[in-house]
Structure 1
Amino acid sequence: MTTTAALDLGLVGNGSIAALVDARACVNWCCIPAFDGDPAFCALLSPRAGGGDYAIELEDFESATQEYVKNTAILRTVLRDRHGGAVEITDFAPRWRQHGRFYRPVMLVRRLRPLSGRPRIRVVLRPLANYGADVPAQTWGSNHVRYLLPDFTLRLTSDVPVRLLRESLPFELDGERHLVLGPDETLAQPVDGFARSAERQTLEYWRDWVRYLSIPLEWQDAVIRSAITLKLCQYEETGAIVAAITTSIPEAPHSQRNWDYRYCWLRDSAFVVRALNRLGATRTMEGYLRYVLNLATGADGLQPLYGIAFEKELEEHEVPDLAGYRGMGPVRRGNLAWVQRQHDVYGSVVLAATQLFFDQRLARPGDIDAFHRLEPVGEQAWALYDQPDAGIWEFRGRAEVHTYSSVMCWAACDRLARIATHLGLAARAAHWRGRADAMREAILARAWDAELGHFVESAEGRRLDASLLLLAELGFVDADDPRFVATVEAIGTQLRRGDGLFRYIAPDDFGSPETSFTICSFWYIDALAAIGRVDEARQQFESLLARRNHLGLLSEDMAFEDGEAWGNFPQTYSHVGVVIAAMRLSRPWSDAV
């Protein structure tokens, strides 16, 4: 089995599925038939029985290089042997517009092409079922092999002889070959013709999508890669954007901080919408807003997270047949955070929805009816802003009146007042403005510590946490407010270590944090720019970009010492940070002339 020593992985996908491909062209993570499904390819999490991989193994392997085809989600890997032989592997999931909708099947396509010498390869395809517990039965025909998973049958159609595929026999790659792994359906055309056509149309789709993005003058490659990554993490059936494609990659070595991130967190929604708006990715943004509003309207209370198909109950279980990333279990399926109370979600939903009322590009803008459907969310915010919760960091054993949660509840009422004013609803605007002003006064009284000289994490508390960096961004205080400036400086002194930032340093349910939380580093960069320390912010941003993997992707966390990636991957919130920071810090386009 191919093993992964680090998160040197590429992401391919199409809005239906997503797969991770390591630096030697092994697919080591892919859930079937959707992001939250059974990981048929789970080698990333070390199945105890072996397998769970889809590799192209080169005899006498010596080295590999890998890159994306420019401005696409098509990945190319070149493997070289010790005798001058080389083979190129092109990986993608088909996606293009067809018959008025997007063709995006549960399918991975691989094209193999010899570049030099006489490379000998083996195709190793060993899917597993039931989270690594079972080897699926196989059947085969003249040019395909079928893998009978419990809820989905995979069919590999190829112009490689079936016997070589079934038994993973080595053969000399003397010409271009094609592998189409997808639904149990017969291809209506020769496999080589389908693969070439699919690659061409998928390439055209991505380049066309990128062409209409709004991007800054500087750091264009980083922003484009982050934009594509956000798009690949959207489950198009519902519009949900998952926090990450994976589960249970630990936040730090042997930390037990292993969580399932294949779900949609409402706390991220306002920032994701903001990034998509900056990019001009309006179709993606509208899909995500529909998902969020479907959850928000008619709900008595909001959960921190939901499944990609609006599932509410995400029971958490440990998976015994997967040993974990580098053997660092446990592997968890589901996430117990769904039962927590995190009051910031009310502000997140209203902040995200505000876009509907002010953005004239949208096909279905917000109206008075939509506003009234949002008002119960504001009522919840008003009722809960001064009540204890688990906070944005989802403490499992501690409840406090967290400043960030309180401020996000204030933001819900503040934005409802702005929306009502925009719609000409004077009485409702006065109602929500009155509540927002009362909340702000109460929060300032409890969250500012004059003795310490900075805002604190919780009411009458003494600790700092990185979420306080967002107070100006949310409009709760001005960026030049001395209290905010002092808080940014205190966070820089107490939570910063080199290029990274702790989200907090106080011990929690699992001990003291060990790694830098990537999005917090971006929050710090944004805050530095907001208070006028732009040169320092630019330097920090450049250093953080240098920590991305070889394909420009980021995980949730980084080690302070060597910048090694930890946590679930790729982390959408981290890529939101790239987009927002680059937009803020870039020189204007007029400088290019």
Structure 2
Amino acid sequence: MNKHIEDYGFIGNMMSGALVARDGSIDWLCLPHFDSHACFAALLGTPAHGHWQIRPADPVLRTTRRYQPGTAILETRFETASGACTLIDCMPFSDNEREVDVLRVVRGETGRVALCMELVIRFDYGQIVPWVRHRDYGLSAVAGPDALQLFSPVDLVGRDMTTVAEFTVSAGEHLPFTLAYHPSHWPERPLQNCEERVAQTARRWRDWSCRCEFALPEGHAWHDAVSRSLITLKALTFQPTAGIVAALTTSLPERLGGVRNWDYRYCWLRDSTLVLQALLASGYRDEAHAWRQWLLRAVAGDPRQLQIMYGIRGERRLTEVELPWLPGYAESRPVRVGNAAYGQRQLDVPGELLDTLHVGRKFNLERNEDAWSLQRTILKQLEQDWNKTDEGIWEVRGGQKHFTHSRLMCWTAFDRGVKAVEEFGLDGPVERWREVRARIHADICTHGWNPDKRSFVQFYGGTSLDASLLLMAQVGFLSADDPRFIDTVAAIERELMQDGLVLRYRPADTPDGLPGDEGAFLACSFWLVDAYVMMGRRDEALALFEHLLALRNDLGLLAEEYDATLGRQLGNFPQAFSHIALVNAAHNLASSHGPAPQRAEHTVADPGSHAGSSAPQPLKVPAARRPG
């Protein structure tokens, strides 16, 4: 039985990251980078596919965990009949992207605790057994281009292709472990002081997190939620290039046992505006500038070759393959590496790109003349392409259509071009852009509106709805008090809300080329919070926002989706899009009329239980109404 997705904590160092389960097992780790092959892949299979567990040998009476405040350093406390100990997990920052480490420290708290360790290294996503040699410092493991060293203070024993150890820790005692990666053709690395490196990492995280300018007192649930989301976003950033991966993982399913399993260890352009807004509104201008520069480097070139996503260094070929030797999380097959959606045509992308650069101008980011030249070139190409079909925001594999959201973002692209001239004095054919903008607006209002449903619909000629229509007011296409927007929100509440959460669409109503269903896409529910704020429905916005906060795990982390029936998170984890949407919704709520008062129920799930055993109750959201 697979552990619940919400049972995992996330540690990272802006090179890669790891998922640490409540039972002290690291079940997912790719080294040296986010998109490298996994050396621990138990998350998508069994412990035999690679993991590293440190746990008490005796029955655990209680487990609690937390992050050290303001950091991505995880502490898991185990209590047994003989005493208590804390397992500290950390990935220190590195100036060398080919040397990436995982640090673990067992700290005795009370009494005397017997522990055991089990290490199974399997390179290439659980497939390759390395050559392991015992060293005076611990062990080394080599296979092909990869090498790991385990620096251990305890005696290690090889048993059935597994390294095990048994040891004890007393109150006040510290036992440090270091797992160090380097290319196999490099010399072995020397031992460094593990505990000092943990302390240095904590100081660096706190120096960064204390710069957050979200104006709420520490201890307020919104402050903690925003801070944890920003730390997660920072940890998902690839330091050498500033690219931000959508999630740490691949192939965590959108429905247990289903086939909707994708690799999210890449950088999506459609996240870019929301990323920039979240960073700038929180005071992180350097990070926002670095992200914009990554964006400009990635998309540089012929605008006809603009992609929806890129690798963390700007790679364009992200070939999708299946890994048949992995059974998948909860038997959810296939396990995929790479993402074929990189080759799709999605006409919303130019709009997201130009909107991002527009936001940068509004916040007075350093002007980049090459960026404006690129935008003009993209708009020239989009004049020829805006009325074509595409695969849409959700990357459907059921054929191209005239998706309303794609057309909406084409309108946004030309609108931002017009505003660049009108508001910032840049040079461009503004009259032509105004004319194209007007044509697209009329086209959407004529063909994207379904008079029988009294709503905009997912694609021209269709009847199904799409949560991306909630962005119409946010991008400025319609005002929030426009009857058509109000009616569309009402239709989404009727048809896409399930157990108080918003589905991105209903697969049964939208032939997307894949069988099965999926959970509620969490970012879409945050979009509804934003829509409520813009419509003046603050009480409903607050109720939905607090409901969403309650879905985080005990560490404040969110996956891509949520299944309210099972009370479980679904999809890749932790999901940048969910955390970005949380930050922006919190800012929108706080800037509308100030934050909600602190309340006792502002908590995440009980650390000692599965979220499924104490799932939040479904939220009842009133039907949409027009102001006044």
Aligned counterpart for 2:82 among listed residues 81, 84, 87: 84
The structure 1 residue matched to 2:128, chosen from 131, 134, 156, is 134
Q: 1:155 aligns with which of 128, 149, 173?
A: 149
Shift of 1:338: 1.2
What residue is the counterpart of 1:43 in the other structure?
Answer: 42
Q: 1:437 to 1:59 in 2, by over 3 A?
A: same
Q: Deviations over 1:527-583 (max 9, x none)?
A: 112111110110011111101111110001111324310111111000011101111
2:403 maps to: 402
CA shift in 2, pair 1:446/1:91, >3 Å: same
Partner of 1:28: 27
The letter for the 2-side match of 1:195 is C
**Partner of residue 392, structure 2:** 391
Moved more, 487-496 or 512-521: 512-521
Report matched runs for 1:50-61 at 5 Å: 50-61=48-59
CA distance in 2, matches of 1:427, 1:325: 51
> 1:134/1:427 Cα in 2 relative to 1: closer, same or farther (>3 Å)?
closer
1:21 partner amino acid: V
Q: Which residue is equivalent to 2:608?
A: none
Contact 2:120 2:163 (8 Å CA) reproduced: no
Q: How far, CA to CA, are the matches of 1:503 and 1:255 in structure 2?
A: 17
The worse-fitting range, judged by mean Cα deviation, of 272-281 and 507-516 is 507-516
Residues 111-145 of structure 1: per-residue CA shift (max 9 Å, x gap): 11111222111221211112211211112321131
User: 1:285-364 counterparts in 2 under 5 A?
Assistant: 285-299=288-302, 300-360=304-364, 362=365
Residue aligning to 1:588:
594
Partner Cα separation in structure 2 for residue 497 and residue 448 of structure 1: 23
In the TM superposition, residue 186 of structure 1 has moved relative to its aligned partner by 5.8
> 1:247: Cα distance to partner?
0.6
The answer as to whether partners of 2:397 and 2:514 remain within 8 angstroms in 1 is no
Report if aligned partners of 2:154, 2:167 keep a CA contact under 8 Å in 1.
no
> Alpha-carbon deviations, 1:128-176, whole Å to 9, x = none?
1122112111123211311113322111123233559984131222431
Q: Judge which range, 297-306 or 112-121, deviates more.
A: 297-306
Distance 1:237 1:351 in 2: 25
The change in CA–CA distance for 1:195 and 1:495 in structure 2 (over 3 A counts) is same
C-alpha offsets along residues 505-531 of structure 1, whole Å, 9 cap, x if unaligned?
A: 114322353411111111111111211
Q: Aligned partners of 1:95 and 1:382: how far apart in 2?
A: 45
User: Which 10-residue stretch deviates more, 545-554 or 286-295?
Assistant: 286-295
Tell me, what secondary structure is at the counterpart of 1:295?
helix
After superposition, residues 253-272 of structure 1 pair within 5 angstroms as 253-272=256-275
Counterpart-to-counterpart distance in 1, 2:45 and 2:234: 28
1:276 aligns with 2:279: yes
State the secondary structure of the residue aligned to 2:75. Answer: strand
CA drift at 1:178: 0.5
SS at match of 2:48: coil
Letter of the structure 1 residue corresponding to residue 181 of structure 2: P
Deviates more, 1:248-257 or 1:349-358: 349-358
> Which of 552, 557, 564 in structure 2 is aligned with 1:560?
564
- The 3-state SS of whatever aligns with 1:309 is coil
Please tell me whether the aligned partners of residues 236 and 287 of structure 1 are also in contact (alpha carbons under 8 angstroms): no
Partner of 2:419: 418
| Higher deviation after alignment, 215-224 or 508-517 | 508-517
CA contact (8 A) 2:323 2:334 kept: yes
TM-score using structure 2 length: 0.88
Between the aligned partners of 1:267 and 1:250, the Cα distance in structure 2 is 21
Do the aligned partners of residues 57 and 425 (structure 1) sit closer, same or farther apart at CA in structure 2, a change above 3 Å counting?
Answer: closer
Structure 2 CA distance for partners of 1:181 and 1:414, relative to 1, 3 Å:
same
Q: Secondary structure at the match of 2:429?
A: helix
Which letter maps to 1:161?
A: D
Tell me whether 18-27 or 158-167 shows the greater mean CA deviation. 158-167
**Counterpart AA for 2:211:** Y
Gaps of 5+ in 1: none
Q: Give the alignment's Cα RMSD to 1 decimal.
A: 2.3
Please give the per-residue CA displacement for 1:5-61, whole angstroms capped at 9, x wherever unaligned. Answer: 4431111111111111011221110111100111101111114x8141011021113
Out of 430-439 and 563-572, give the one that drifted further: 430-439
Which residue number corresponds to residue 106 of structure 2?
112
Aligned CA distance change for structure 1 residues 367 and 34 (closer, same or farther; 3 Å): closer
Query: Alignment length, in residue pairs?
Result: 579
Gaps of 5+ in 2: 599-628
Q: Please state whether the residue corresponding to 1:118 is helix, strand or coil.
A: strand
Matched, 1:518 2:525: no
Secondary structure of 2:154's aligned partner? coil
Note the C-alpha offset of 1:380.
2.9
Equivalences for 1:425-574 in 2 at 5 Å?
A: 425=426, 427-505=428-506, 506-507=509-510, 508-511=512-515, 513-574=517-578
Secondary structure of the residue aligned to 1:349 is helix
Give a deviation string over 1:267-292, Cα, whole Å, max 9, x none.
Answer: 21111111112112222222221121
Instruction: Quote the residue 1:10 is aligned against.
Output: 9
Q: Quote the Cα distance in structure 2 between the aligned partners of 1:203 and 1:525.
A: 34
Q: What letter matches 2:56 in structure 1? A: L
- Structure 2 CA distance for aligned equivalents of residues 266 and 477 of structure 1: 23
Give the direction of change, closer, same or farther, for the CA distance of 1:392–1:167 in structure 2 (3 Å limit): closer
- Aligned residue for 1:168, secondary structure, equals strand
Give the whole-Å Cα distance in 2 for the aligned partners of 1:133 and 1:369: 45
Partner of 1:235: 238
In structure 1, the partner of 2:382 is 381
Could you tell me whether the CA contact under 8 Å between 1:120 and 1:172 is conserved in 2?
A: yes
